[in-house]
Structure 1
Amino acid sequence: MYLRPGTVVVIVGATLTGLSTVIVGLRYYCRHFLMGSVGPSDHLMFVALVLTWGNFVVNYYQDQTSGRFRPSFLRDPAKRPGIEASVRGSLISWWVYRMGYNLALCFVKLSILFFYRAIASHRTFRRFVYATIGFVCVYTFGVTVASAFQCENPSDSWNTTGYFSQFDRDPTTKRPKFKCYDPIRLWVFSAAVNLLSDVIILLLPIPALLSLRVPMSKRLALIGIFSIGIMAIIASSIRMWVMYLWSQSPSASARYGGDLLLWGVVETNSGIISASVPFLRLLFVGRQKEERGVTQRRLDASPPKPMGQAGLSINQPLEKPHEIDTWALFETEKKSGEGSPGWQPFITVPESLNSGSRGSTLLEPAQLPHSTV
């Protein structure tokens, strides 16, 4: 069965955006009910999800309008009057999509960066995070404004007369004079900067994670969790290649437009999913603790050893020391303004004291045991 590219975009968009909605919902559940702390990074991701649904609606409208004509109709002046309304709708949807796509990616990146800011106390690392936040905000603002004002009069962006004139093979055809710039350079630049910022955000915490004084296996596990975002980088790289093909000519733009939208959907949802999945570990922490508690109760209920056996060694600890859980960095976001001058970039707390119950993030170092790495 043949499916038009626009239909594939709609199906993939509905599937991935629906999956992103479920994962973000579980993230809120973990953060609010299991941890008792919902921060700015969660709200920023929610805004990114709303914008992604908005882009899905735009993509659906693009599929409905572009499905009413074939690319070959654009070269036939006799068929243009019958498809003019559909072409205008498609051009308007593209104009809206360019702004919504960049804004959605911006909020995904800001969510990740605000999470970095919350768990980092090292001054140099925090400065890099703030600089990256500023960079993402500035270039997103610039690209969004430039997309909105591609033409001096924004309505000229969806003027069908100017669009049809690109497909006229007669060089003597009189084309309308609009004050518009060629948007291809802007879109290629935007795709390249998005890819660059994805790589920077992925690499930003790696030096701090490598410097942790914990076993190498835990360091590699943490790096693996943070590296889930490589999925978004792969999608962004493929979209960059499709962008190159799409920008070759007006005919190529019509041919690869669906592929460009498809990989934009994959890129945005990959960022949302990869940035939210690490928080879902809290769903399994409680189960592991419950099973550990059952095992401990069974050990405590075992019959005492008969008299005459060797007693406790003088060097044997009377109490089992707290187990340090490095994963707690996902559960110890600091409140704005609270300082921890003696703590290093990432903080660990005893596993028995972390997010198994509400309010567990409000640990006071002076009263409860803690360890810094």
Structure 2
Amino acid sequence: MSTLPDPPADIDLSETKVPELVSVFVVTWVLGVLCVGLRVFVRLVVRRNKLWWDDWLVMASLIWSGAFMFDVTCYMVPQGLGKHIWVAPADALKSYFLGLFIAEWTYTLSLVLVKCSILAFYWRIFSAEPKTRLFIYIMAGMVLSWGIAVILVTIFQCLPVNAFWMRYDLVNPMQASEYTCGVGVKEFFIGNAIPNILTDFLMILVPLPSIYRLYLPRSQKYAIMGIFVVGLFVTAVSIVRLQYVLALDLTAIDATWNWSDEMMWTGVETNVATICACLPNLKPLFNLIMFGSWNHSTVRSTNPDGTSRNGPAISLPDRKWPSSLRLNPQEHGSSKAFVTAQGKDDKRPFSVLTDNESNTWREQDSDLELMGGSLRQGGASGVVVTTQVNIHNSK
């Protein structure tokens, strides 16, 4: 590698972005670890369910985002990232491009896994609707295709592969005649970012129609939607990162300084994605903070003798629900839930179902059966049902 040119006169060689770079990476990753830990706690302890695919996938994503963080903070930063190239170690450019090579595919694996975790969560909750299932299939195909394409381009952007960093080796740099690098780094980052932003935005839209159709008070409906729409923050971070990519000057020799902001926002993107993927699963914690209990219910109370304080109670006969009305088709086991229903709607018989997911559903047949409840007369709004029900299969 040729000798570095003299630094521009207007550059302060003592300035550094290292504290900001390291603190942002570490803090956001630790927050991701905390959210994943709380998610597992809610799943295993509060709801007493087994971990499912969405839980395992987000934990795998956390591992790869951790590998990305350690690559940047423990390898690239000591080798000069966040400082001007003139005060960085002599082999800073080689170390930077080796670290960048590792960062590209660890970043991609982390995002692919967290997106797959979100889609698996959608499948577990909303897959009873055929249109939603189709959309999940399409989104999964897009995410996996994007991830495979990015990783393949990352690996083979230079031939031989190690030419991506060995061309900057101080002792024995590869000569231009010994390698081929047919992919522009800036163009690759732009082509990486745009499909990523598109899939982020589309995935936010998946649950909103299903949530909007729920028989819930409007405030609760909007609150649940808000938890999902928080994912827009990930899209916003991706757009900010893209702006830094577009502003990069690849002709400038000061790569360790110029690329540090883009690298920092890339780390923020992966860790914030992990946090947002966990938020819908932390609803019991939000209930505890806002209402003082893990499970917040809107059911009305009854007297000890079984009569309603709002009217007389009568027997509710057993009733079968077809498979198209399954509440949670991916859970297995048996369950109890508190239900409040208003009026008559055979398509959506439950107007309010509290999120007591410490229980699971048993799926051995196509039908679920609603056993023994109590029915009481309400006011002008119609018949109101408040009951504890057992939901299980019948053959």
- TM-score scaled to structure 2, two decimals? 0.71
Report what 2:330 is aligned to: 335
1:144 pairs with 2:156 = no
Contact 2:84 2:257 in 1 (8 A): no
2:33 to 11, 15, 21: 21
Report what 2:370 is aligned to: 366
Contact 1:246 1:252 in 2 (8 A): no
Distance verdict in 2 for CA 1:149–1:248, change over 3 Å = same
1:119 pairs with 2:133 = no
Amino acid in structure 1 at the alignment position of 2:27: T
Distance 1:104 1:335 in 2: 25
The correspondence of residues 301-312 of structure 1 with structure 2, limited to 5 A, is none
When the two structures are aligned, how many residues end up with a matched partner? 324
Amino acid in structure 2 at the alignment position of 1:54: A
Amino acid in structure 2 at the alignment position of 1:367: M
Amino acid in structure 1 at the alignment position of 2:165: W
1:64 pairs with 2:91 = no
Distance verdict in 2 for CA 1:28–1:68, change over 3 Å = closer
1:281 pairs with 2:283 = yes
2:96 to 90, 94, 97: 90
Distance verdict in 2 for CA 1:107–1:237, change over 3 Å = same
Report what 2:336 is aligned to: none
The correspondence of residues 153-302 of structure 1 with structure 2, limited to 5 A, is 153-161=160-168, 176=177, 178-181=179-182, 182-246=184-248, 248-251=250-253, 253-283=255-285, 285=287, 287-288=292-293
Amino acid in structure 2 at the alignment position of 1:146: V
Report what 1:326 is aligned to: none
1:48 pairs with 2:61 = yes
- Secondary structure class of the residue paired with 1:366: strand
Distance 2:283 2:136 in 1: 24
Which consecutive residues of structure 1, in runs of 5 or more, have no partner in the other structure? 75-81, 165-173, 301-310, 322-331
Distance 1:190 1:101 in 2: 11
Distance verdict in 2 for CA 1:100–1:73, change over 3 Å = same
Contact 1:6 1:62 in 2 (8 A): no
> Deviation at 1:212?
3.0
Higher strand share: 2
Contact 1:35 1:361 in 2 (8 A): no
- Secondary structure class of the residue paired with 1:202: helix
Distance verdict in 2 for CA 1:291–1:366, change over 3 Å = closer
- Secondary structure class of the residue paired with 2:259: helix
Distance 2:278 2:271 in 1: 11
Distance 2:77 2:270 in 1: 19
> Deviation at 1:218?
2.6
Q: Deviations over 1:154-175 (max 9, x none)?
A: 01011244899xxxxxxxxx95
- Secondary structure class of the residue paired with 2:70: helix
Report what 1:325 is aligned to: none
Report what 2:312 is aligned to: 317
Distance verdict in 2 for CA 1:52–1:248, change over 3 Å = same
- Secondary structure class of the residue paired with 2:181: coil
Q: Deviations over 1:241-299 (max 9, x none)?
A: 0011125534474443110111111111111111212222223557427999xxx89x9
Report what 1:106 is aligned to: 112
Distance 1:344 1:199 in 2: 30
Higher helix share: 1
Distance 1:103 1:64 in 2: 24
> Deviation at 1:92?
0.9
Which consecutive residues of structure 2, in runs of 5 or more, have no partner in the other structure? 1-13, 317-326, 334-344, 374-388, 390-395
Distance verdict in 2 for CA 1:337–1:19, change over 3 Å = closer
Distance verdict in 2 for CA 1:282–1:206, change over 3 Å = same
- Secondary structure class of the residue paired with 1:65: coil
Root-mean-square deviation (CA, aligned residues, Å) is: 3.9
